[in-house]
Amino acid sequence: MCFSKMRLAGFAIDFFTFSSVLKALGNSSALDEGKQTHALVFKTGYIMNLYVQNGLVSMYARCGKIEDAKKVFSSMDEHDLISWNSLLTGCAQHGYGIEAIKMFERMRESGVKPNGTTFLAALTACSHVGLLDKGLEYFDLMKHDAFLPQAEHYACVVDLYGRAGFLHEAEEIAVRAARKLIELCPNDPAIYVLLANVLATEGSWNDAASVRKLMCDKGVRKKPGNSWL
| CA–CA gap between residue 107 and residue 138 (Å, rounded) | 13
Say if residues 54 and 82 touch (Cβ distance below 8 Å). yes
- What are the tens digits of pLDDT across the range 65-85? 999 999 999 999 999 999 999
**Mean pLDDT computed over 83-100:** 97
Q: State residue 229's pLDDT score.
A: 36
- The better pLDDT of the pair 178, 19 is held by 19
Confidence at residue 183, expressed as pLDDT on a 0 to 100 scale: 77
CA 34/CA 28 separation, integer angstroms = 10
Mean of pLDDT values over 15-29: 91
Q: Domain 158-229 falls in which CATH fold? A: 1.25.40
In the chain, where the domains are located:
12-34+41-78, 88-147, 158-229
Beta carbons of 34 and 69 less than 8 angstroms apart: no
Query: What is the band of 4 on the pLDDT scale with cuts at 50, 70, 90?
Result: low
- pLDDT averaged over every residue in the chain: 85
pLDDT digits (tens, 9 = 90+) for 178-215: 777 777 777 778 777 777 777 777 677 887 788 788 77
pTM above 0.85, yes or no: no
pLDDT digits (tens, 9 = 90+) for 102-112: 999 999 999 99
| All residues at 6 or more sequence positions from 56 whose CB lies less than 8 Å from its CB, including other chains | 22, 34, 38, 41, 69, 72
Mean pLDDT of 163-185: 75
C-beta of residue 85 within 8 angstroms of C-beta of residue 115: yes
Rounded Cα–Cα distance for residues 146 and 143 (Å): 5
Task: Report d(CA 149, CA 152) in Å as an integer.
Answer: 8
The pLDDT value given to residue 9: 56
